[in-house]
Amino acid sequence: MEKRIKELATYLSEILALQVKIRPWKKIDDLPFFLGDAYDFYELSLFKHSYLLMHPKENIEVTPALARKHWDLVQKAWKGMCIYSQTSITAYNRKRLIGHRVPFIIPGNQMYLPDLGIDLHEHFRQPYSQSIKSFSPATQAVVIYALSYGSREGLETVR
């Protein structure tokens, strides 16, 4: 099995905490000839079901619209869910794949399997923490006025 498919299997095993089996799909002759030239096909066992992975061969660029057309053709030959897989993808093309409703897995980046209720993003935003480094001019004026002329009641708790 190719290195990129082993990486995909490892990614799925780690993320889903399941044993994943991937093997070459034997019925590639059921597809139009050009699809066999453009993609490698693998049968994926996951959640006690079989899925078909279609992974573009190296050095072949596939646009999201073209991936959708090819995915539709593969779906006619495969009774279960077909999953598009790619080694890497731009954010723009990832968004377009979602727009075309193509289930996909990009190892280390995103897993979008709407039929299984999975939309996992690997990149997380840092939590927003607000620290006060200075007071606004209005706050400064209120504090100066309260310290100079007003009561200090309630200010003991603020430090």
User: Where are the domains positioned within the chain?
Assistant: 3-121
pLDDT for 148: 84
* Higher pLDDT, residue 66 or 158: 66
pLDDT tens digits, one per residue of 97-149: 999 999 999 888 888 888 878 877 766 555 655 667 788 888 888 888 888 88
Phi, psi at 3, each rounded to 5°? -60, -45
29 pLDDT more than 80: yes
pLDDT of residue 73: 93
pTM: 0.71
Q: Determine the Cα–Cα distance for residues 154 and 38; give it in Å rounded to an integer.
A: 72
Give exposure, 38-53, as e/b (b: 16+ Cβ within 10 Å).
ebbbbbbebeeebbbb
Higher-confidence residue of 88 and 47: namely 88
Q: How many CA atoms lie within 13 A of 4 on its CB side?
A: 15
Contacts of 123 (CB under 8 A, 6+ apart): 109
pLDDT tens digits, one per residue of 62-97: 899 999 999 999 998 888 899 999 888 888 898 999
